[in-house]
Amino acid sequence: MFIRTSGRRVVVAGGGEQAAQKARLILKTDADLVLAAPQLCRELRALVRSGRAAHHAGPVTPALFAGTALSFVATGCPGADASLHALAKAGGALVNVVDRPELCDATTPAIVDRDPVVVAIGTEGTAPVLARALKTRIEQMMSPRLGAWAAHAGALRDAVARGIPPAARRAFWSWVFHGRPAQLHRQGRSDEAAALLDSAIAGRRVPEGAGTGHVALVGAGPGARDLLTLRAVERLQEADVIFYDRLVGEDVLELARRDAERVHVGKQVGCCAWPQDRISAAVMAEARKGRRVVRLKSGDPSVFGRATEEVEAARAAGVPVEIVPGVTAATAAAATLQDSLTCRGDTDTIVLTTGMCRPGDPPPDWGAHVRPGATLVVYMGVGAADRIAASLIGGGAGPSTPVDIAVAVSTADERVIRARLGDLGATLRRENVAGVALIIVRIPKRHVAPAIAAE
């Protein structure tokens, strides 16, 4: 909650370091600050001398707290704090008692201040160390120049309302905060950014490209939402409509704008409700309306994600398109296994292949990839496990070659199963693996059969 403080009093009861900490917080506002204590520390005395705060050294009564925007009790003495809390409540105040959450009507959050942009992180007084850690991460994400740019844009709101048609304003503001003006301002070229805005407003026009539709093929990663890239989160926050796969979890979708339209287009084996051509047509139809569309895919769109088909559809429709890479399941599985996909002097080649093809197409020649020093990662291979194993063995891999089966990596259902190549299909059936899993086969140089080494 943000409390308006203009023309209102905030009382800090206490004269020591705890009171000074709360005073520093209130100094970021325009409240009339009153310090209530018989004696004040040096820092607080300086505030009084500068005229930034008033000193109340006399008896404290409920009247002192009446009508305040907020009151703090910060003496450091439990008994005095409890007494002052009772007086403040009798005066009808909203009260915060330092380090006494059970006596707090409100808690003070950790603040990331890019005035007028303010981010508040609160834990209801239960975990202030966590709040400070989150503050540090958010500080790193937000440009130091962000507040100045927001203030400049805010000063132009009336001019924009007069000069830009209502239907185009959202696209205009998106251009202001995500387009060329924002880029210039972040680079320290504030005058150029301001001139660009003034020119657009004076011309009563939305800059070219600002109101056109856009498609972003966004990789959602293997499942865990903290594996999304910052760019992926930005696109979700900008999206008007999101088309998402069945493997994208609700916690990932929570990162999107609340008012973004969400369309589930998940495809499963044996289910053709959303074939690829229908998905592409729906995505392009939304983009042609001038909307920013995210096609949210699990993993990386460029790794068995049919990105090529959707990029071609966008180009054919004349719609701008971009690909936002995601963490692919192979690297996520390696992290789960705590074992690199490559090893210097032992494994120097990675092959990403699939167990599924278009209907009517011949299956991949998995055995052709059996080479000394190769790691084979098979996506969507559970249903073809017996054929995959037979092909790899036929290519020279021994039946006793170890296999890692990584199931639902990075999610709550994650598990790893160890198997031998000759028993791959039987192991999957015994472990009831029927969903999303990777099959990882390593053929290190030092363990290859002589026939393979000679080849």
Q: How far apart are CA 277 and CA 279, in angstroms?
A: 5
CB-CB neighbours of 428 under 10 Å: 23
Instruction: Tell me the residue type at 14.
Output: G
What phi and psi, each to the nearest 5 degrees, are found at residue 26? -70, -25
- Structure token digits, residue 259: 């008012």
Closest residue by Cα to residue 164 from 176, 180, 181 = 176
Helix, strand, or coil here: 275? coil
Question: Do residues 378 and 405 lie in contact, with contact meaning Cβ atoms separated by under 8 Å?
Answer: no
Q: Which of 89, 267, 346, 348 is catalytic?
A: 267
Per DSSP, the three-state class of 34 is strand
Counting Cβ atoms within 10 Å, is residue 272 exposed (0-12), middle (13-18) or buried (19+)?
A: exposed
Is residue 158 annotated as part of the catalytic site, yes or no?
Answer: no
Instruction: Give the DSSP per-residue string, 327-362.
Output: --HHHHHHHHHT--S-BTTTB-EEEEEES---TTSP
Active-site entry in 32, 240, 245, 300:
245
Active-site annotation holds for 300: no
Those residues whose C-beta lies under 8 Å from the C-beta of residue 373, and which sit 6 or more positions away, are 346, 347, 348, 349, 443, 444, 445
**Residues with catalytic annotation?**
245, 267
